Structure formats: C-alpha cells, structure tokens
C-alpha cells in the first residue's frame, strides 16, 4: 500500500497516512482522492462513517483480457468473482452508516454474480437501475466466417466498409478483420462466404448488441424505523424530490379519469393521491441520448427521441385478454370454478393447486398422453402418477 505520508515511522498503514481522507471524515474537507487497493484501504476506515457509496467494480467478464477482471472460466470464475467482490463489499458495509445506500455497477450478463456478492456481504438488495445507453458494440462471432476459417477457405472480397471507431485486438479476433485495418476512419474488407456451409450460416452470430448496464441499489440494514434512522444517521431514505425529472406534461389526473397510453392501453386513474405537475417520480430506468445530440435538439436516431415512437423498439406489454384468448373462440365458456370442479366462491378455489387433482373435491382428471407410448412406457407413467399422489 502506498501511503500519502512518507514520514510514517512504524510502516504499518493507518488513517494518519491519509490526511485528506481524515480531514473529510472530520468534516474539514469535502473530498479526497485515494489511489489504493480498496480491499486494503477500506480496513483503515472506522465503522459507520460513510453516507453512501457509488462504485464501478470489475464484472468478471475478462474485459479486454485485463487481469483485474479475469477470474478463470465457467463456474470457477463465478465463485472466485463472488469471493473477491464480497470481501470488498463486506468492508463497504462495515464503513457505511446504517441505512446507507450503495449503487454498484454490473454488466447484465454477470449482474447475478454481483448481486450474489452484495447479498453475501450482507447488503439488502433494494432495486436494479437499468441504464439504456444503446451505443454498445456487439462482440458477436460471425458463424459463417468461422466455418470458412476452420475449413481453410479464403473468402472472396466483395467490397469495403469504413470503421467508425478504433478497433482493438478483440474486434480483430471476433470479427475476423485483418490486422492493419484497425485505425478509426480506415476501411475493412467485406467478404462473402467461400464454402456452401458458410453460405448456409451467413448472417448468424453469437451475441446481441449491448444497450443496457445495471446498477444495483443496495442498502445497509438498520434496526430502527425509517423515521428513527434518518433522524439518527441521516441515511435510510432516497431524496425523491431532488431526483424528480422535469416534464411539461400535466401529471395530476382527475380521479376516475380514463387515459390512453401511446401503445393504446387504457387505464383509469384510481390513485387517490395526485402526482406533481412538472416533476416525474424518478424510475429505475435511465435512458441516454445519442452522442451527437445538442442540449436542445436531438439527432433523428437519438434513442431517447425514438422512445417516443414505440414501433421502433421491441415493445412487450403484457398480453391483453383478447390476445390471450385468441384462437379459443369456438370453445365453450367456462368459469374458473367449473374449470377446476369447485364450488363458486369456495376456499379451495384459491388453492394454488386447485385443478391439479392434489386437493380434495376433484371429480376426475384427464391426462392426455402422447399416442405413441408402448404398454411398458404407459405403465411407467401410471406408476409415476400414482407415486405423485394421483389416484386412478
């Protein structure tokens, strides 16, 4: 560990070696910058001294082959990553005041590992904030090129295209571009499949374009009520009003008034509490503008501008009743009670197993099996059903 104060006689690091950090903790300075291994440095801080933490730790995806992000392969990598991060996050938890929040970055693919490490460390996971930035670059292996490469076949060059950013060795490996075409604004060759099999798999890749990153919102738990904790430590609640998002929309809606969303979904305002005009409640979705947007003008392909037009995006609302029941028009209408052979309004109707033949009152169950089972297979299935408690 490199100490800020070279005069430390004992050689054992202490907070006295970090006068700026000490000054911040004592309220004499507003900030300090420390360049240390957090696993070591955090040990010097006293318990319950930090109000909040924002951190951008490794994701365990071997980012550009960096050592600090490499934890091995497959499940071994997961265990090693969780052990590494939870050790640091345990120290973060100790130094945070009760009720203190932390925002911890994660990549979607390994965000499960990050949240696991946070829970292992003792944090309470409160939410996951999704940041849609849309400008990621797909690290997709071209299946067609890979087939030609494996076959030792040279692909015919059919054109060139300009690269929009500096390519790194990973791009060269993944996209099979030749080295020497890596400069920004330079050109890479466009090739066509050389073999029949490569032609069959032309257009296939192995990854989607990254467009979202995650920020886990976690909190140190506390024994007091929220009211008691905010008064004692000044932590435990989010400053919602300070984070509201300005809008020209009128958000206060009349009780009982029906509105229609841009996707055609109608909803009736049943909330007895009015919203705040001009200020939206902050949500756990953050969207970004295109890099070319000006403060008062978005470029045409700005994702935030396009969000106003849902048809440009995958839009996945829950299916409407009409969609759920499409194709079932010719079937006789049956109530839920009829479908599970129970009395209308009976307690058993609410059983999570109603209709499964496992609770009393069921008259008959028809199991439709495949029609190509041998007598032995049929007997096996019957035995399994009897073992599972289904009477014949």
Q: Which residues of the shown chain bind ligand SAM in the complex (CB under 6 A)?
A: 37-39, 56-58, 68
Q: How far is the CB of 276 from ligand SAM (least distance, A)?
A: 34
Q: How far is the CB of 40 from ligand SAM (least distance, A)?
A: 8
Residue closest to ligand SAM when measured from CB atoms: 56
Asked whether 213 and 133 are in contact (CB, 8 A), the reply is: yes
Q: Residue 29: what are its φ and ψ, rounded to 5°?
A: -130, 160
By C-beta, is 90 or 197 nearer to ligand SAM?
A: 90
Look up residue 358 and give its two tokens: 């496992």
What number of CA atoms fall less than 13 Å from residue 385's CA on the CB side?
Answer: 16
Measure the CA–CA gap between 86 and 259, rounded to whole angstroms: 46
- Non-local CB neighbours of 215 within 8 Å, separated by 6+ positions: 103, 104, 105, 106, 128, 129, 130, 131
- Classify the phi-psi angles of 241: left when phi > 0, otherwise alpha if psi is within -120 to 50, otherwise beta: alpha
By C-beta, is 215 or 233 nearer to ligand SAM?
A: 215
Q: How far is the CB of 59 from ligand SAM (least distance, A)?
A: 6
Q: How far is the CB of 166 from ligand SAM (least distance, A)?
A: 17
Closest Cα to residue 129, out of 147, 102, 153, 109? 102
By C-beta, is 68 or 265 nearer to ligand SAM?
A: 68
By C-beta, is 38 or 359 nearer to ligand SAM?
A: 38
By C-beta, is 42 or 302 nearer to ligand SAM?
A: 42
By C-beta, is 37 or 338 nearer to ligand SAM?
A: 37
Q: How far is the CB of 34 from ligand SAM (least distance, A)?
A: 9
Measure the CA–CA gap between 61 and 57, rounded to whole angstroms: 12
Q: How far is the CB of 39 from ligand SAM (least distance, A)?
A: 5
Q: What is the DSSP letter of 347?
A: G
Question: Which parts of the chain fold into alpha helices (H)?
Answer: 19-25, 38-41, 74-95, 111-121, 143-151, 169-175, 196-200, 226-233, 303-306, 321-324, 336-339, 375-387
- Non-local CB neighbours of 363 within 8 Å, separated by 6+ positions: 341
Q: How far is the CB of 107 from ligand SAM (least distance, A)?
A: 9
Measure the CA–CA gap between 297 and 306, rounded to whole angstroms: 13
Measure the CA–CA gap between 307 and 283, rounded to whole angstroms: 15
By C-beta, is 170 or 341 nearer to ligand SAM?
A: 170
Measure the CA–CA gap between 170 and 320, rounded to whole angstroms: 44
By C-beta, is 91 or 142 nearer to ligand SAM?
A: 91
Q: How far is the CB of 295 from ligand SAM (least distance, A)?
A: 23
Q: How far is the CB of 21 from ligand SAM (least distance, A)?
A: 15
By C-beta, is 33 or 246 nearer to ligand SAM?
A: 33
């Amino acid at each position: 560990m490199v100490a800020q104060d070279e005069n430390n006689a004992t050689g054992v690091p202490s907070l006295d070696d970090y006068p700026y950090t000490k000054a911040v903790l004592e309220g004499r300075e507003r900030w300090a910058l420390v360049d240390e291994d957090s696993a070591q440095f955090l040990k010097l801080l006293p318990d319950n001294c930090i109000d909040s933490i924002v951190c951008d730790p490794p994701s365990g995806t071997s980012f550009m082959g960096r050592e600090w992000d490499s934890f091995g392969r497959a499940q071994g990598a997961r265990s090693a990553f969780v052990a590494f991060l939870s050790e640091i996050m345990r120290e973060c938890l100790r130094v945070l005041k009760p009720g203190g929040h932390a925002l911890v970055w994660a990549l979607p693919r390994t965000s499960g590992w990050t949240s696991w490490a946070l829970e292992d460390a003792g944090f309470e996971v409160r939410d996951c904030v999704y940041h849609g930035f849309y400008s990621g670059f797909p690290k997709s292996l071209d299946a067609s090129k890979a087939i030609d490469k494996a076959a030792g076949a040279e692909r015919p060059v059919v054109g060139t295209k300009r690269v929009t950013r500096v390519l790194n060795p990973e791009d060269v490996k993944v996209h099979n571009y030749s080295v020497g075409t890596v400069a920004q604004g330079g050109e890479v060759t466009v090739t066509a499949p050389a073999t029949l099999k490569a032609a069959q798999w032309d257009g296939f890749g192995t990854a989607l374009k990254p467009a979202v990153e995650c920020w886990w919102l976690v909190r140190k738990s506390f024994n007091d009520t929220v009211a008691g904790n905010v008064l004692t430590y000044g932590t435990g609640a989010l400053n919602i009003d300070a984070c509201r998002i300005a809008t020209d929309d009128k958000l206060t809606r009349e009780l009982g008034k029906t509105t229609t969303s841009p996707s055609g979904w109608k909803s009736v305002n049943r909330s007895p509490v009015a919203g705040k005009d001009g200020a939206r409640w902050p949500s756990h979705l953050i969207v970004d503008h295109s890099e070319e947007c000006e403060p008062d003008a978005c470029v045409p392909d700005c994702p935030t501008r396009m969000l106003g037009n849902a048809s440009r995006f995958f839009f996945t609302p829950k299916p409407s009743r009409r969609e759920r029941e499409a194709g079932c028009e010719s079937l006789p209408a049956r109530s839920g009670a009829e479908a599970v052979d129970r009395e209308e309004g009976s307690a058993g109707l609410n059983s999570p197993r109603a209709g499964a033949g496992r609770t009393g009152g069921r008259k008959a169950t028809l199991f439709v099996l495949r029609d190509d089972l041998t007598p032995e297979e049929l007997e096996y299935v019957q035995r399994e059903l009897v073992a599972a408690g289904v009477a014949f």
